[in-house]
Chains A and B, each alone.
Chain A
């Protein structure tokens, strides 16, 4: 009788924990957002801070709603705090998710300091992600432009990086409306960051699908310039099992760096989506 009871208790324990079996116990995010650059050497991005906040708050809310036991921490840098030294340094290694919002171009992103960039050219790699960093998102124009970018430089164990092959426009649509056109009406682009975290954590979508869905919904449908969101990654075998990082879900994520050295992985891959020309 006691044996049967113990077996039942063991079975109940397994069932109760099955859903959360691979959910990480901790999740941390670090954000770098530049609204105003030193001496205005780049155009202003008025929503940069709000965009970083939208991502952090959405991560926090979705974790507390779905996985309250997961410990969450965030560190946020803005404007003059986003220096080349800080971004290049080892601090990012302590965070699972790195978010950058500022100007960029193929293989490069800009820092706050005048004329300072993280630029990958020739054989020089100015920043790669490893340590505890498994994912990154660059809300920045054309860093992974089709046919021009060399994604390899960014990888030192990170699973995948989200970004854009196209421009990454922001919008805060504000226009006069209402009585005598004296009121104000508006809507924002950072709903994409908010919904990405919801899709990935609450919606249990793969990381690429979570990002493509959120971007297409808010930027393409509401925002003016169309975009091509993109994910870049290395793929291969982890502990004998094939791992394609574009389909990695939050709840079944691998909690260690992967494909760090040449020979650790099978190849490099990327995915992007187009939304087609609207027809009304």
Chain B
């Protein structure tokens, strides 16, 4: 009954927000997260774990290696190859660029990092000269960290740039040291789910209004369980469990589609209740 209600609500919202379509899949995913009985065993184990958050205990340092140089800028480190390959490589498909980026990550970063990161997205750099057609002249690839099987948004990341020769121009990395800390929710579960639903509905309303004002259209197509970084008034950054909603938008007169992502914590009321149980 509940499932049918939310599917109907999803369909209704999709209809009433003509410029923004929310896929049925998102409402199904939302319901599954609220009702662990519907989840696969592995996912259920994740949901049933004691709540915890991650606090930042510092930023990892990196040193230059045999084939690469490292320089620190603020919170991140920039890697450049000591001897850049003169061999020109094609700026290939997204699938091939993912493999190339992962190979480069493995050649420069320690194993514990390469084992806990995954490619997030592959983008391209375009050049247009005079009235000629745009051509691809580079690629920008992002990778995210994975903690306890959950992707991390913000705070820790890898950003790689490939130039027109198809070789790595530079790689930026910020890799924080985290303390995993038991946490206690200070809002009861039914209320948490309600807060999350309300925040999602507010998000849909805000995007719809923004689309109307700016003559845009788009859709929210998928969602994923993530950890997102929040900074409190004391300047402390913590990672809290969240849902990341993924979609795309374009202007009414163009077919060019641009990604959009929005994070909503599933429980931002978590507060630490113990010392670190593990540091990474």
Contacts and interface: CB of A to CB of B under 8 A. Distances in A.
B125 A175 contact: no
B214 A181 contact: no
B269 interface: yes
A274 interface: yes
B128 to A, nearest CB: 5
A276 interface: yes
Interface residues of B, number: 63
B248 interface: yes
Contact of B154 (A184, A205, A221, A228): A221
B259 A275 contact: yes
A278 B247 CA distance: 9
B169 A177 contact: no
B123 A217 contact: no
A35 to B, nearest CB: 18
16 contacts: A141-B214, A146-B254, A175-B265, A176-B268, A177-B265, A178-B269, A217-B159, A220-B142, A226-B260, A269-B128, A269-B130, A272-B126, A276-B142, A277-B248, A278-B261, A280-B246
Contacts of B121: 275-279
Contacts, number: 159
A187 interface: yes
B269 A227 contact: no
B271 interface: yes
Contacts of A263: none
Contact of A202 (B73, B230, B231): B73
Contacts of B125: 212, 271-273
B127 A177 contact: no
Contacts of A177: 230, 232, 240, 265, 268-269
A175 B259 contact: no
Contact of B268 (A175, A202, A273): A175
A279 B94 CA distance: 12
